[in-house]
A and B are shown apart, each in its own frame.
Chain A
Amino acid sequence: MTIFEFFLWSLLKVAVVTVVMLLGVAYTVLLERKLVGRIQNRWGPSRVGPFGLLQTLVDGAKLFLKEDLIPTAVYRPLYLLAPIIALGCALISIGVVPFGEPNVGPAGMHLFEISDVNIGLLVILGITSIGVYGIALAGWSSNNKYSLLGALRSSAQLISYELALGLSLVGVVLRAGSLNLRVIVEQQATQGILTWNIFGGMQFVAFFIYLMAAYAETNRSPFDLPEAESELTGGYHTEYSSMKFAMFFMAEYANMITVGCVATLLFLGGWTSFFGDLIPPPQNIFIHAFLPLFWFVLKVFCFLFLFIWVRGTLPRFRYDQLMNFGWRYLMPLAILNIVGTSLWLAYR
Chain B
Amino acid sequence: MHLILFFVFAGFCVAGAINLLLQSHPISSALSLIVVMTSLAVLYLLLGAEFLAAAQVIVYAGAIMVLFTFVVMLLNAGREERTMGSRTARKVGFPAVVAILAVIATVILRAQGLGVAGLRDGITSTTDLSKVLFTELLLPFEVTSVLILIAILGAVALASHGDGNPHGNRDPYGNPERTAGK
A67-102 CB contacts (< 8 Å) to partner B = 78
B27 contacts A by Cβ under 8 Å: yes
Complex Cα–Cα for A148 and B123 (A):
42
Q: With an 8 A cutoff between CB atoms, is A159 at the interface?
A: yes
For B74, what are the chain A residues with a Cβ–Cβ distance below 8 Å? 152
Are A158 and B66 in touch, CB under 8 angstroms?
yes
Taken together as a complex, chains A and B put the C-alpha atoms of A155 and B38 apart, in Å, by 19
Q: Can you spell out 30 A-B residue pairs with CB atoms less than 8 angstroms apart?
A: A78-B31, A118-B123, A118-B125, A122-B54, A122-B58, A125-B62, A126-B61, A129-B57, A129-B63, A130-B38, A132-B62, A133-B69, A136-B66, A136-B69, A136-B70, A136-B73, A137-B31, A139-B73, A151-B73, A152-B73, A155-B70, A156-B70, A159-B67, A162-B63, A320-B173, A320-B175, A320-B177, A320-B178, A323-B177, A324-B177
Known: A119-B51, A320-B178. A159 touches B58 (CB 8 A): no
Residue numbers of B with Cβ under 8 A of A are 27, 31, 34, 38, 50-51, 54-55, 57-58, 61-63, 66-67, 69-70, 72-74, 76, 123, 125-127, 173, 175, 177-178
Chain B contact surface mostly: helix
Q: Does A140 contact B (CB under 8 A)?
A: yes
Give, as a whole number of angstroms, the nearest-CB distance from B62 to chain A: 3
20 additional contacts (CB under 8 A) given A126-B58, A126-B62, A177-B127: A118-B123, A119-B126, A122-B51, A122-B54, A126-B54, A128-B62, A129-B63, A132-B62, A133-B31, A133-B66, A136-B66, A136-B69, A136-B70, A136-B73, A140-B73, A148-B76, A151-B73, A152-B74, A159-B63, A320-B178
Question: Could you tell me the distance between the alpha carbons of A325 and B11 in the complex, rounded to whole angstroms?
Answer: 43
In the complex, residue of chain B having the shortest beta-carbon distance to the beta carbon of A327 = B177
CB-based contact A130/B73 at 8 Å: no
Q: Which residues of B contact A132 (CB under 8 A)?
A: 62, 66
Q: In the complex, which of the residues A122, A140, A323, A324 contacts B55, with contact meaning CB atoms closer than 8 Å?
A: A122
**CA–CA, A137 and B63, complex, Å:** 15
The CA of A156 and the CA of B67, in the complex, are separated in Å by: 8
B123's nearest neighbour on chain A, judged by CB, is: A118
Q: Residue on B with the closest CB to A127?
A: B57
Residues of B within 8 A of A177 (CB): 127
| Given A118-B123, A122-B58, A133-B34, A155 and B175 contact (CB-CB distance below 8 Å) | no
The answer to whether A130 and B126 touch (CB under 8 A), given A139-B73, A148-B73, A320-B175, is no
Please report the C-alpha to C-alpha distance between residue A122 and residue B62 in the assembled complex, in whole angstroms.
Answer: 12
Q: How far is the CB of A319 from chain B (nearest CB, A)?
A: 8
A152 to chain B, nearest CB (A): 6
A130 and B57 in contact (CB under 8 A), knowing A78-B27, A119-B50, A320-B177?
Answer: yes
Question: B76: which A residues are within 8 A, CB to CB?
Answer: 148
| A179 on the B face (CB < 8 A) | yes
A-B CB proximity, top 7 nearest: A129-B62, A122-B54, A126-B57, A320-B175, A155-B70, A126-B58, A320-B177
